[in-house]
Chain A
């Protein structure tokens, strides 16, 4: 069985290595592992998809909980939850099939985020199955490159995975830590390129 586990972890170096190391040391199988920020800069959130029977799942949860830098752990075995995967896929799409591909992406509520001479990049999010189905549909056109984030998940309803004592967290006025984030490094386009780029 594939199970989704969420772990709230302290946002500091070595935590990902510790979690990943624990999985390999104990022979647990990771299908995907996603880690990203939360609204609280002290904590990151991991979403891990593991292949495990019930007993192994129990051990995975407990072993995660044992790691000192792991603050909270929960699995979604017994509760309804929303799970989403995000994909960027670059397809071969010469002008004569371009509209077909765009139409397919539209049917899946995907977005075209880049168009080149013979390629097209689609952004698509949703349940894993939906992404899989899209991949199979567009495979005949030729997949140049594909990247998926892996699943992130959240329980339905009011229940939340937070550290104890941060339930009523409000960002301090005017000091949202997220606002201070550095932009991703990008090559700046030259003037010539900017002039050649169509408006928008």
Chain B
């Protein structure tokens, strides 16, 4: 099976500051991701983790400092926009800014069609109406302007516009973050349903682990520009292996916070070694100086000394640092005992 998007050892650096004292920021560091056809890959990370940069890389909007990115087996740098049009689409974060405020909704959705297929107005309108119905919007919505729609409706329109050329790959960058919980669930369910019928591949970027695991087949966890863990969605319904992933799970109320919550530390990570060192609840002296090795197993890859050590001694798939994590299903949003800090 070919891959739709294949990113190998990608790094992106931003330079800032004056030329005599340049400051170099590593937005992405040695990231490799494969997205296969009909697969939704989740990308979870906090602000500053480089997840938006990685999304822009996938769309060819951001050049790599080093590494390669291929679209259907061809380096994306060699493809021009004419060859790619209609194959890539995006649904972006802010529902207010993602639709042209001066175009009627039907016109916005039809725009990619007109550019790509040169269809007649009536033919395009017919396809647009079909697509709007498919994303659950009433036919009258097509004649309205974006500012007359609710946030959820706007996000449905964005999805309709992304799907209309039947693209191979869609980027969802924080596509549900700005919505109310109830609307978010509607959109997440719509996404699952459309993915199984339209069969696109997608990268779903979010800071919300719980929403991501719900729609994705695989999830990549990013911290400070580097991958911490990559695993199948099932792993996130149990207890993940990397301390950072587990910290995020705890923060979303998915697992018990005791012993897994990340520390609050405002200092920057060590210059060599693991970026998580200061915030990790189970860090060791070695983490400060040595970069963790990659440990790959059937469950995915983990970049952590602790996991790698335990894997070496217990020969394989033992899950060394995971605590007993069942019972999660009965009491959602467990209450934690309040404790004094320090």
A and B are interacting partners: no
